[in-house]
Every structure is written in structure tokens, then in C-alpha cells.
Amino acid sequence: MSAILKTWPSFMDERKEPQREIEKIYFTHQGVVLGYFDVLGIARNDGSLPKLRSLSNRVSEWQFKPDVYVLTCKPPMHWLEGEKVHHDSFRGWRYFAIDEYRGTLEAKVRL
């Protein structure tokens, strides 16, 4: 099983399907890895995904584009505790092994 790191936008929203089974998705904000969600599954938006809604139950103006892959996650978010783990922003996603990454200079110093 693998994990991925996602910085922006918040959802997977990619046309490229992951080649490995994804167990966790990590999120960053302002260059710091905040934590992760456990992944329940991955689906391609073939038009059958439910519409995203706001807290007031209105259909959101923002929806997933056709044919993109979307991760479904199980709450709650698991916050990283203790040391700060830094990571620069990027678009898209990449495979991520936090235990290996923690030992790098980039993880310890915000570049």
C-alpha cells in the first residue's frame, strides 16, 4: 500500500489513475504537512458521482471535471503531532513515504 501527498487543490482531480493502491492522502498548508486521511477508494468521474454541496445544501458551483479520478476518504483527519514536517507546494499529487521523507533536509527546513 502507498500514500500520496496533495498540496493544491484539495481534491485529487487528476486524469492519471494511480498505479498503486492508495492507503493515505497527506495534506499541506503553507509549506507544512498537516496530516492525512485514510482513503476508502478511488473513482473515475463518469458522471455518476453525486454533486458537491455547500453546508447550506446548495449545489456547489465547483464540481469535479469529467474523467478525473477522485479519492473518497474516511473522516476524521489524522493530524501530525510533534515535529513540523515541511514540504514545498506543487500542483497535482505524488507518491509519498513520510517516514523516509522525515529524514531529509527539506522536511526539517522550510526552503
C-alpha cell at 85: 514536517
Look up the domain containing 75 and give its range: 2-108
pTM: 0.74
Residues 31-35: what's their mean pLDDT? 90
pLDDT tens-digit series, residues 38-68: 998 888 888 888 888 888 999 988 888 888 8
DSSP sequence for 21-53: -EEEEEEEETTEEEEEEEEEEEEE-SS-SPPPB
Please tell me the distance from the alpha carbon of residue 27 to that of residue 24, in angstroms, as a whole number: 10
Across 1-111, where does the E strand assignment appear?
Answer: 2-6, 22-29, 32-44, 69-79, 93-95
Please tell me the total count of domains within the chain. Answer: 1
pLDDT tens track for 70-101: 888 888 989 999 889 998 877 677 889 999 99
So what's the pLDDT on residue 35? 92
